[in-house]
């Protein structure tokens, strides 16, 4: 056994020494990292802009919602059962479109009675005219007294008055028949259905509620102290949830009466078409101005969740600087922290841009 160990130990020592020699040889043959050439920085030809102080309006954000300027309630003018409702909630109807029908049986009976009364009055007039004609002939022959002729002429006058009344009654009943067809006065949207087929319709009780598609208004309120600075026709931007850009509205109504609880005054602004009623938004009323540091919106970039800009130093090299941003104004963004006035930043920085470019 001792003989075997004495033979293995020199072989093990030789292997260790050979390994150390190979490592030393590889270290001598490989080039040193300090001797490698340094990579050249990437070069870009990009537009730059200076951060500068600008006069920015100070806004009051007034919450509100869109409503239709014209809201219509459709109701019957006569009593009757609803025979048909031809629209559904949410449907858009044109001006003059049929909305509902009221049962016309009572009106048809009244028209028939008016026609009968008219015919009877016309017969009475013809009979009275014949009597007057005969009585006048007899009176000329001194056969009939003047008193009877006068009474015949009186009956003729009364019969003619009865014909006039019958004509007026028939016309009124026919006008009632027109009211049995309920139509839309303007192009509108059906927003609520308050009755069903078979229900009794009464005068003044609404069956349907509509809202005109145009014009649309934005209703809001602002503190009473700023109402005097507003004018009718003034343009005000309105930001709506879900819309990328603000919509410009024009002031149409300024209610110069403050709410005793909130101390605010109601303001109404007209909106362009193709907006949804009930949509929530915020009107930006300019109440003052202030000097703030701004840069173009397209100079901002986000890297690993941090918003910042690429600032250019005196050697024309770029370095990423994180910034704290504020509100947006005319394609500009207010910088609250991270830059100073006069600092140069890169516009629309590409993804390949990095520190030292």
pLDDT tier at 266 (50, 70, 90 boundaries)?
very high
What whole-number distance in Å separates Cα of residue 208 and Cα of residue 84? 12
Tokens 């009051």 correspond to 60
Domain boundaries, the chain: 48-54+292-346, 59-67+214-289, 72-102+180-212, 105-178
CATH number of 48-54+292-346: 2.40.420.20
Summarised one tens digit per residue, pLDDT across range 233-250 is 888 888 887 777 888 889
User: End-to-end distance of the chain based on CA atoms, in angstroms?
Assistant: 70
CB proximity list for 24: less than 8 A, separation 6 or greater: none
Summarised one tens digit per residue, pLDDT across range 3-37 is 444 454 455 555 555 555 555 545 544 444 444 45
For residue 92 the two structure tokens come to 């858009």
Architecture of domain 105-178: Orthogonal Bundle (1.10)
CATH number of 72-102+180-212: 2.40.50.100
Summarised one tens digit per residue, pLDDT across range 137-159 is 777 777 677 777 777 778 878 87
pLDDT tier at 175 (50, 70, 90 boundaries)?
low
Mean pLDDT of the 65-85 span: 85
Summarised one tens digit per residue, pLDDT across range 194-217 is 888 888 888 888 989 998 888 888
The DSSP bridge pattern shows strands 247-254 and 200-201 to be unpaired
pTM: 0.54
Please count the CA atoms within 13 angstroms of the CA of 249 that sit on its side-chain side: 28
> What percent of the chain shows pLDDT beyond 90?
4
Q: Is 346 helix (H, G, I), strand (E, B) or coil?
A: strand
pLDDT value at residue 30: 47
Mean pLDDT of the 283-301 span: 85
> What percent of the chain shows pLDDT beyond 70?
85
Q: Is 53 exposed, middle or buried (0-12, 13-18, 19+ CB in 10 A)?
A: exposed
Summarised one tens digit per residue, pLDDT across range 320-342 is 888 888 887 778 888 888 888 88
pLDDT value at residue 199: 86
Q: From 166, 184, 44, select the one nearest 113 (Cα to Cα).
A: 166
Mean pLDDT of the 271-288 span: 81
Higher pLDDT, 225 or 159: 225
Give the other-Cβ count within 10 Å of 131's Cβ.
17
Residue 296, pLDDT > 60, answer: yes
Which CATH code of 2.60.40.2470, 3.10.310.10, 2.40.30.170, 2.40.50.100 fits the domain covering 59-67+214-289?
2.40.30.170
pLDDT value at residue 214: 80
Q: Where are the alpha helices (DSSP H) in 141-231?
A: 146-178
The answer to whether 37 touches 192, Cβ cutoff 8 Å, is no
């Amino acid at each position: 056994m001792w003989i075997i160990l004495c033979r293995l130990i020199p072989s093990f020592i030789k292997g260790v020494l050979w390994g150390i020699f190979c490592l030393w040889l590889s270290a001598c043959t490989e080039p040193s990292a300090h001797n490698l050439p340094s990579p050249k920085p990437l070069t870009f030809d990009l537009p730059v802009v200076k951060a500068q102080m600008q006069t920015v309006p100070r806004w009051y954000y007034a919450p509100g919602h869109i409503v239709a300027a014209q809201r219509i309630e459709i109701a019957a003018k006569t009593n009757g059962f609803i025979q048909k409702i031809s629209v559904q909630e949410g449907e858009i109807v044109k001006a003059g479109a049929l909305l509902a029908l009221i049962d016309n049986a009572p009106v048809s009976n009244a028209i028939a009675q008016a026609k009968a009364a008219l015919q009877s009055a016309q017969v009475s007039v013809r009979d009275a005219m014949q009597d007057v004609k005969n009585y006048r002939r007899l009176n000329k022959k001194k056969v009939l007294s003047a008193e009877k002729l006068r009474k015949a002429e009186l009956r003729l006058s009364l019969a003619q008055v009865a014909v006039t009344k019958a004509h007026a009654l028939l016309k009124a009943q026919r006008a009632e028949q027109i009211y049995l067809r309920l139509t839309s006065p303007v192009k509108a949207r059906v927003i609520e259905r308050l009755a069903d087929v078979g229900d009794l319709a009464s005068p003044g009780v609404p069956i349907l509620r509509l809202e005109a598609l145009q014009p649309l208004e934005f209703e809001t309120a602002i503190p009473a102290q700023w109402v005097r600075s507003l004018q009718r026709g003034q343009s005000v931007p309105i930001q709506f949830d879900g819309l990328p850009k603000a919509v410009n509205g024009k002031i149409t109504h300024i209610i110069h009466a403050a709410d005793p609880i909130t101390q605010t005054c109601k303001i109404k602004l007209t909106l362009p078409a193709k907006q949804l009623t009930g949509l929530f938004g915020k009107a930006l009323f300019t109440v003052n101005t202030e000097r703030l540091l701004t840069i173009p919106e397209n100079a901002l970039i986000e890297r690993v969740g941090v918003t910042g800009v690429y600032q250019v130093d005196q050697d024309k090299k770029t370095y990423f600087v994180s910034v704290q941003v504020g509100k947006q104004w005319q394609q500009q963004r207010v910088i609250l922290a991270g830059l100073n006035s006069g600092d140069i930043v890169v516009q629309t920085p590409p993804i390949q841009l990095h520190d030292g470019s």
